[in-house]
A and B are shown apart, each in its own frame.
Chain A
Amino acid sequence: MSSTNEIRKGVVIRHQNDLFVVVEFQHINPGKGAAFVRTRMKSLAAGKVVEITYKVGESVDIVEVEFQTMQYLYKNGANYVFMNMNDYEQVEMNGDLIGDEAKYLKEGIEVIVGLFEEVPVSVQLPKKITYKVVEAPPAVKGDSASGNVTKEITLDNGLKIQAPIFIKEGEEILVNIETGEYSARA
Chain B
Amino acid sequence: MSTWLDLKDNPRLKGIYDTRLKIIKSIREFFWSQDFLETDTPIAARYPGQEPYLNPMRTQIHNPSGAAFDFFLHTSPEFAMKKLLAAGYKKIFQICHCFRDEEEFGGRHNPEFTMIEWYRAPGELLEIADDTENLFKYLGEKLGVKKINYKDFKIDISGEWDRKSMKEIWKIFINVNLDDYLEIEKIKILVKERGFAVCENDAYEDLFYKIFLNEIEPKLGLEKPIFIYDYPAQMCSLSRLCDNDKRYAERFELYFGGLELANAFGELTDAECQSRRLNEDKKLREKLGKQSYPVDKDFINALKSGVPAGENYSKKAAGIALGVDRVVLLFSGAKDINETIFQSAKDQTEFDE
Contact = CB atoms under 8 A, between A and B. Distances in A.
A57 to B, nearest CB: 7
A33 B235 CA distance: 8
A170 to B, nearest CB: 19
B186 to A, nearest CB: 17
A150 B11 contact: yes
A182 B108 contact: no
A147 to B, nearest CB: 9
A149 B11 contact: yes
A186 interface: no
Contacts of A26: 104, 107-108
A32 B339 CA distance: 27
Contacts of A51: 214, 218
A33 B208 contact: yes
A111 to B, nearest CB: 18
B203 interface: yes
Contacts of A149: 11
A53 to B, nearest CB: 4
B5 interface: yes
A55 B350 CA distance: 28
A34 B11 contact: no
Contacts of A178: 1
Nearest to B218: A51
Interface string B94-124: 0000001001100111000000000000000
A59 interface: yes
B104 A32 contact: no
Interface string B1-38: 10001000111100000000000000000000000000
B143 interface: no
Contacts of A55: 197, 199, 202, 206, 209-210
Contacts of B339: 179
Contacts of A33: 53, 203, 205-206, 208-209, 235
Contacts of A32: 51-53, 205, 235, 237
A28 B235 CA distance: 17
Interface residues of B, number: 36
A94 interface: no
A58 B104 contact: no
Contacts of B52: 32
Interface residues of A, number: 30
B335 interface: yes
B206 A31 contact: no
Contacts of A176: 1
B263 interface: yes
B54 interface: yes
Interface string A175-186: 010110110100
Interface string A130-157: 0000000000000000000110000000
Interface of B: 1, 5, 9-12, 51-54, 100, 103-104, 107-109, 195, 197, 199, 202-203, 205-206, 208-210, 213-214, 218, 235, 237, 260, 263, 335, 339, 350
Given A16-B195, A35-B53, A176-B1, 6 more contacts: A28-B108, A31-B53, A55-B209, A58-B199, A127-B350, A179-B339
22 contacts: A16-B195, A26-B107, A28-B213, A30-B205, A31-B53, A31-B237, A31-B263, A32-B52, A32-B53, A32-B235, A33-B53, A33-B203, A33-B206, A33-B209, A34-B205, A51-B214, A55-B199, A58-B197, A150-B10, A150-B11, A178-B1, A179-B1
